[in-house]
Amino acid sequence: MTSRFLVTERRAIVGLASLYASRMLGLFMVLPVLALYADHLEGATPLLVGMALGGYGLTQALLQIPFGLLSDRIGRKAVIGGGIVLFIIGSIVAANATSITGIIIGRCLQGSGAVAGAIMALLADQTREEIRTAAMATIGLSIGVAFAVAMVAGPLIADIGGLAGVFWFTAALAACGLLILWKLVPKAPRRMSHRDVGIDRRQLRATLGQSDLLRLDFSIFALHLILTACFTALPFRLEALGFAPADHGWVYLPVMALAFLGMIPLVIVAEKYRQMKPIFVGAVAAMTLILLGFGELATDRVTLVTLLWGFFVVFNLLEATLPSMISKLAPAGAKGTAMGVYSTSQFFGAFLGGTLGGALSQGFGVQSVFLGAAAVGAVWLAVVWKMPAPRHLSSEIIALDEQSMDRLDTLLERFASVTGVEDVMVVPEEQVAYLKVDRQHLDVEALASIAGNQWQRTDA
């Protein structure tokens, strides 16, 4: 089988990556501006502003799994389209709000369009097993780009149109997303469950009982708690050091670009040279120290911008490596379930971070936000300190042909007997086998002889 993208696969990947990125761009653009531009809103307090920042995370966390399951029943496009409509309604509510309560309602409505799982499931429906990892990586890259663009675009749009302008822009982006969904993304030829993408309720208890996966769930929870909490205070710290709100985007632009460059060699060391645990633990420790620096040392522009660069190096590094670690640790066929729990933890972290940051800012001042975030970082460091180094296992998804389906009774044993295959799950209803393999020791020829022309080596 060819590993090159088919025309329909390419259309699906481009369309869904654009859809995902535009949606995340709309959510992220509010982060660097809401705290600064909320002072004119009726009833605005630091606590309520923080709740508005993180409000989308609560509804995302509560609804993403139900939306994913609903898409299995009534269709991916219908659920995704409905989620986008909810996002548009939330954006319009927030754009017209004259009180902080209206902003909170709008942000929660934005988050209620929790279609991330449905988008990933549709992508899985549209792609063959051997190219699905590359397709998923494209989605991941689009999220990283969206975050970087949002940090720059949010302040620039707010300078022109105020806070309402940011929300109107996100509504327009979402409307474009509807066009992309219906015009660019082709109709899926099938709708199936995919254990590498979706939640499998039968595996949920076992996944929640795996301590190493729980450490990573706590990690993404803490990371997004820290991120959202910091943005209840960072804009004010920039303003206090002479950066006008209109110029914040130009501060974030070079910082984000240089942070991306600073992250790349660390990712290479972690993945290529198999130093995942020391890089991971070192990043958590560095994040904790940077947060202390924000609270105690950031009294001049150079120090603040340097710390900001370090913050985004670490943030981007962890955003890139945590999903990779989940993939390495999840049992064969349980990656989708593990990622579902992981994503839910991320959104709960964003909600609690906004609320905690706002509460600390209101009760004790801006500096306390950074010190509180540093305390979270210290707890995080304690949680992961004794975590065993993850084994560098990769995932393989092998489509089973009719001949393979006729010998299911021996297929599992044959896969398991191949040198380098560490775990295997055969799922007859999906007609696929999920494998975890050690690439350094994998007997490629033996695996190919079993899988036949249904398998080509990937880099999952």
What would be the CATH architecture of the domain defined by 1-193?
Answer: Up-down Bundle (1.20)
CATH of 394-454, one of 3.30.70.100, 3.40.190.10, 3.90.550.10, 3.40.50.2020: 3.30.70.100
Instruction: Compute the Cα dihedral for 453, 457, 458, 460 and give only its sign.
Output: positive
Q: Taking the CB of residue 244, how many other CB atoms lie within 10 A of it?
A: 11
Q: What is the DSSP string of 26-95?
A: HHHTTTTTHHHH-TTSBT--HHHHHHHHHHHHHHHHHHHHHHHHHHHHH-HHHHHHHHHHHHHHHHHHHH
pLDDT of residue 1: 39
- 3-class DSSP state for residue 422? strand
Q: Confirm if 255 and 417 have CB atoms less than 8 A apart.
A: no
d(CA 32, CA 163): 11
Average pLDDT of the segment spanning 135-140 = 82
What is each CA distance from 334 to 124, 207, 324, 431, in whole angstroms? Answer: 15, 8, 14, 16
Task: Give domain limits for the chain.
Answer: 1-193, 202-392, 394-454
pLDDT in tens, 216-226: 999 999 999 99
pLDDT in tens, 68-114: 888 888 888 999 999 999 999 999 999 999 999 999 999 999 999 88
pLDDT of residue 460: 45
Indicate if 394-454 has the same CATH topology as 202-392.
no
**pLDDT confidence bin for 426, thresholds 50/70/90:** confident
Lowest mean pLDDT among 97-111, 185-199, 420-434: 185-199
pLDDT of residue 74: 86
Q: Which residue has the higher pLDDT, 187 or 277?
A: 277
Which of 322, 365, 377 shows the shortest CA–CA distance to 345? 322
d(CA 312, CA 91): 27
CATH of 202-392, one of 3.30.420.310, 1.20.1250.20, 3.40.50.150, 2.40.40.20: 1.20.1250.20
What secondary structure letter does DSSP report for 291?
Answer: H
Q: Confirm if 210 and 339 have CB atoms less than 8 A apart.
A: no
